[in-house]
Amino acid sequence: MRSIVIDGESLTFDEVLAVANGKPGEPVVSLSDSAVAKVKRAAEAVDKLLERGEIAYGITTGFGAFKDKIISREEVERLQKNIVLSHAVGVGDAFDIPTTRAIMLIRANTLARGFSGIRIETLELILECLNRGVHPIIPEKGSLGASGDLAPLAHFACVLIGEGKAEFGGVTMPGADALKAAGLSPVSLKAKEGLALTNGTTIMTAVGLLETAKAQNLADLADISGCLTLEAVNGTTAAFDERIHRLRPHPRQVECAAALRDILSGSELTRGFDPVNVQDAYTLRCIPQVHGACRDAVEYAAWLLKIELNSVTDNPLIFVDGENIEVISGGNFHGEPLALAFDYLAIALAELANIAERRIMRLTDEASNSRVLPAFLTEEGGLNSGFMIVQYTAAALCTENKVLAHPASVDTIPSSANVEDHVSMGATAAIKLRAVRRNLETVLALEAFCAAQAVDLRQKRIGAEKKLGKGTEPLFRAIRERVPFIGADEYMKDHIDSAIDIAKHFARNGEF
């Protein structure tokens, strides 16, 4: 993509990923003509309200519990600057650059819809920062998920007024300096603008979208690594028979079974009918049922995010019909839909890690794999511990995931003097989801690391080079290009890091 034109209504997953993972100006983001017209119309409506002296929340009143405090026309601009400065109380590590770029794009798209009352010059400054690489330093923590992602978005807005901090050219500096270095000038916020910049679900949407995109790829990697394990332990493909899944037609289960059959097509390392070994353990036999159910959570999150990407999520919203102007307060900033989806997805990814860890156990425990493989994947057990502790690491990550999978969305702590008395914790759900996804990525890397070792050992025992499946061969080769067969104990960390790099690359790109 060389350019993306936003209008508040048609932003796509792929466009967000292109901007998040791209370089400043690659692609260039601009506003559509229709968006410019709508944004100008709403900003003009705000000016008319001020001229009429009408009372409107967040324009001529305070915020939250101060909603009953009337602000004079002379102080409305100070009010908007104050909300940005006072709300910039985020803590913790800053979001990485891809996440920050996604935040900037999604926020701009929300404002481009033309119901927020922001001026065109303020919105265009966001896009100029994005295109020139002025990236606000946004702390991860501080959002309750209603009234949107106030604290982190305030850090984003601070840079636009020459406050806060930003990254430019790889250097973190004061926001004013970053703007100047990029040839830009800060704006002075007018009525409604501070509230429009800080109110909404942008943070949780950006984090959740990036994690969902990676989850889609990791679900594919889980299928492939599971199949490589199945080949290594002489498993059967019987349980993936289309006729079985047709009788329980959950869509993702059916799709997963078909994917497994395709991944294993051409394999010479799976077993046919064996009267003394007619079926495999659940971690192999039930891959379509488990992975398929987890894919349901991934697809639900993707479906919901496609709606949220092009939604207006600040408050209040401005509706203009000729000379009739209405400012209506609502609750589109409430992150409950996202919080529930991200908690569901975190649980699903934790399950993908759980079943992969159990497959690692089958690879390393010779009793569990019917002695097809030597204990702990080493031929001189006792003197060598082999891959014994690799399973420990996977188990530790799975236990961490079980803690992280506790839903954030079932919690709420009232705020703003009990005016904002139910919140979603959606940003917390998104950040937890990111941690679970990273752990899953590592567990799948560990499974592939073990499975490649196991395949080599099995080939050695067979005494012939048997073909891997169409889909497992690329994973095996990717591992072997960077990780050798390990004949005796040696320093393992570098090999594990190489396997993790392969999993990270696949999570981002969907290919080895």
Residue 373 backbone phi and psi in degrees, to 5: -125, 150
Find, among 200, 196, 191, the residue nearest to 143 by Cα: 200
3-state secondary structure of 270: coil
CB atoms within 10 A of CB 477: 12
Q: Are strands 324-328 and 317-321 parallel, antiparallel or unpaired?
A: antiparallel
- The CA-atom distances, in angstroms, between 422 and each of 317, 331, 336, 413 are 21, 11, 10, 7
Which amino acids are annotated catalytic?
A: 57
For 164-199, give the secondary structure using H, E and C. CEEEECCEEEEHHHHHHHCCCCCCCCCCCHHHHHHC
CB 61 within 8 A of CB 71: yes
Whole-number Å distance between alpha carbons of 480 and 450 = 12
Whole-number Å distance between alpha carbons of 177 and 132 = 14
Provide CB contacts within 8 A for 297, sequence distance 6+.
341, 344, 345, 347, 348, 349
- The CA-atom distances, in angstroms, between 274 and each of 261, 270, 278, 280, 455 are 19, 11, 6, 11, 20
Task: Give the largest Cα separation in the chain, rounded.
Answer: 89
